[in-house]
Amino acid sequence: MTYQYKRILTAGAALLLSIATMPQGVAASDLLFVSVGPATRPPIGWVDFCVEYPGECKVTPTAPRDVVLTNKAWTDLLRINRWVNETVKPMTDMDHWGVVEKWSYPDDGYGDCEDYALLKRRMLMDAGWPREALLMTVVREKNGNGHAILTVKTDKGEFILDNQEERILLWSETSYHFVKRQSQSDPNRWVALGDPRPTVATASSSAR
């Protein structure tokens, strides 16, 4: 199927959610930004994605940019996150493609975690959001399983778009262990992440 990306920004009441209040501020004790470490190897899924979609990866390195999280930006973020989560149907790569790992756009309406994140990233960029603030991210769940999410880097903190969680949470409000993500300056360069939280917060989740 073909998604009408512009339509999502002007969708009617059937696609609109009850917009939650945009975060107005976070206590100083809360962790707004994850610790960024040295360069590390990109996931094989991203490498193969670049082979299939070379135009997505042949980009010139740019200066890092954070999104100014206005009320409109927060509304658009909520709308796109919910629309993708409700529209794409979960399916493992093995069931979908017959392989263990494949990163791809869910243009046929089916995908797993990284496919949800890739579509959200593309739709946000189509809506004018800077690529440098939309970072594919690899985490580990409490059971040790790998998982992919989209980090949105804003002036109010780093927020997570996740197909397993309907809410948009600050990264430190999730239960994940953060492993690595795209560099803000170059999506083909990945950096290791550190997690300074003494304890991991609990976040609700559902099946992929």
pTM, rounded to two decimals: 0.83
The mean pLDDT of 128-149, rounded to a whole number, is: 96
pLDDT in tens, 43-74: 999 999 999 999 999 999 999 999 999 999 99
CA angle 59, 171, 66 (to 5 degrees): 40
How many Å apart are CA 111 and CA 163, to the nearest integer? 10
Q: Is the pLDDT of residue 91 over 80?
A: yes
pLDDT reported for residue 22? 56
Q: Show me where the domains of the chain are located.
A: 22-194
The mean pLDDT of 20-37, rounded to a whole number, is: 67
The mean pLDDT of 12-32, rounded to a whole number, is: 49
pLDDT band at 203 (very low <50, low <70, confident <90, very high): very low
How many Å apart are CA 60 and CA 57, to the nearest integer? 9
| CATH 3.10.620 is the classification of domain 22-194 | yes
pLDDT reported for residue 12? 35
Q: Is the pLDDT of residue 99 over 50?
A: yes
The mean pLDDT of 23-51, rounded to a whole number, is: 83
